[in-house]
A and B are shown apart, each in its own frame.
Chain A
Amino acid sequence: MIYWQLFSLFARVSLLAFGGALGILPEIQAIVVDQYHWMTAEALVQTYVVGQFVPGPNMVMATLVGYKVAGFTGAIVSTLGMYLGPVTIVFICTALYYRNRQKDYVRRIELALRPLVLGLILAATLLFLTQQLQAEWPIGLAIGLPIVWLHWHKRISAITGVFAIGVIWYASGLIELIGTR
């Protein structure tokens, strides 16, 4: 019963997830916290935060809710619920798209929707950076911009860049901590 509830919850919300995980957070909270009382609102937010920082898709939140509610099987069931529907839809739509790709109107629809894609990704990036950096944005930019420059000019890969910024950020925090003692 619990497995079915988890599966159907995430299967349902995954089909409402247009533009990222943030949009479905209130829906998940309404069911997981308010309706079933499976976890507290704080624990739910923690699953979302962990999802942002671990590798892979950020909808890993579904896996964590499943794990918290019903252990490892719950995690598998919730993960399946989250990805099964969307992936099936993507397979069908991609096949249809490539069958009709040469048609002028299909190409124009794709071009028309590009601003939406750029806007959503740019908005998510800026929102996240604003939340994370807050008053520390000068330090963030001072650390980040040289590495962004190196990546832009193909001197380093993106993964190397991410790890370099992460480690320098952490080290700068440590230096600041030692300085204040």
Chain B
Amino acid sequence: MQTAATRSWLWLNFKIGALSVGVASRLLLFEEAMVREHQWVSADEFQELLTLAQMLPGPNLVNFAACAGSRLVPGWVNLTALLLLITPGALVAIMIFAWAPLANPHVKELFRGFAIGAFLLTARFLWTLASGLKAGPQRDRQNSHAATHKIIGRYGIASAIVVISFYHIPALPLIGSFAVLCLAWEFLF
């Protein structure tokens, strides 16, 4: 495991801040660079950082970048990287909001195409996250029957969240309830 080179981390954050659309696809770009390209962290540690970021309040992407930056680079580099992540999108958004003909069907359709592409391309990333549910402490692996039950339960909980989200926006009470259910499943059953 290695720490990220300052310049690479800053460039990665700027690239994601300036070129990416769709939260999940932005996370995918982080995964692509951190795990596959530079091997700064393992796939498992990437998922650890993602879980930590997602469990804390605030914008998911910025939380993740701050979390991963804390692990990989010194504090001042992390803060600079966050600025590079946030600023380009904010400036583009202001320009679009102020000047772009958002009602124009051509503009709408082009933006729509990019967004659809961003979400479709998260397929591989989601597959990696789903594979991460099979991970477990050594103790569980020794008892393969219990481990299998635990893993099936994890997939069940993830599926339930997806189904319920179609009927109810996942806000704090819902997320809190599922967090309690996840912990109960892990520690009690």
Contact = CB atoms under 8 A, between A and B. Distances in A.
A31 interface: no
A181 interface: no
Contacts of B176: 18
A128 to B, nearest CB: 5
Interface of B: 15-29, 32, 36, 47-48, 50-63, 66-67, 70-71, 75, 82, 85-90, 92-94, 96-98, 102, 106, 109-124, 126, 129-130, 132-133, 135-137, 154-155, 157-162, 165-166, 169-172, 175-176, 178-179, 182-183, 185-187
Nearest to A23: B171
Contacts, number: 335
A37 interface: no
A115 to B, nearest CB: 4
A20 to B, nearest CB: 6
A93 B58 CA distance: 13
15 contacts: A19-B54, A50-B96, A53-B115, A55-B20, A57-B62, A57-B86, A94-B52, A107-B137, A113-B179, A117-B129, A118-B158, A121-B122, A128-B119, A162-B22, A162-B25
B166 A127 contact: yes
Contacts of A60: 89-90, 93
Contacts of B67: 90, 94
B23 A124 contact: yes
A127 B135 CA distance: 27
Contacts of A57: 17, 23, 26, 59, 61-62, 85-86, 89
A2 interface: no
Contacts of A158: 20, 25, 28-29, 32, 121
Contacts of B17: 55-57
A14 B113 contact: no
B157 A119 contact: yes
A4 interface: no
Among the interface residues A72, A85, A116, A124, which one has the most CB atoms of the partner chain B within 10 A?
Answer: A116
Given A54-B96, A97-B52, A165-B117, A118 B122 contact: no
B24 A125 contact: yes
B166 A115 contact: no
B62 A114 contact: no
Interface string A110-136: 111111111111111111110011000
Interface of A: 14-23, 46-47, 49-60, 63-64, 67-68, 72, 75, 79, 82-83, 85-87, 89-91, 93-95, 97-98, 104, 107-129, 132-133, 140, 144-145, 147-148, 151-152, 154, 157-159, 161-170, 173
Contacts of A152: 123-124
A23 B169 contact: yes
Contacts of B97: 46-47, 50, 64, 67-68
Closest 8 CB pairs of A and B: A56-B89, A86-B58, A119-B161, A165-B117, A169-B113, A112-B186, A123-B165, A166-B114
- Of A68, A112, A148, the most chain B CB neighbours within 10 A belong to A112
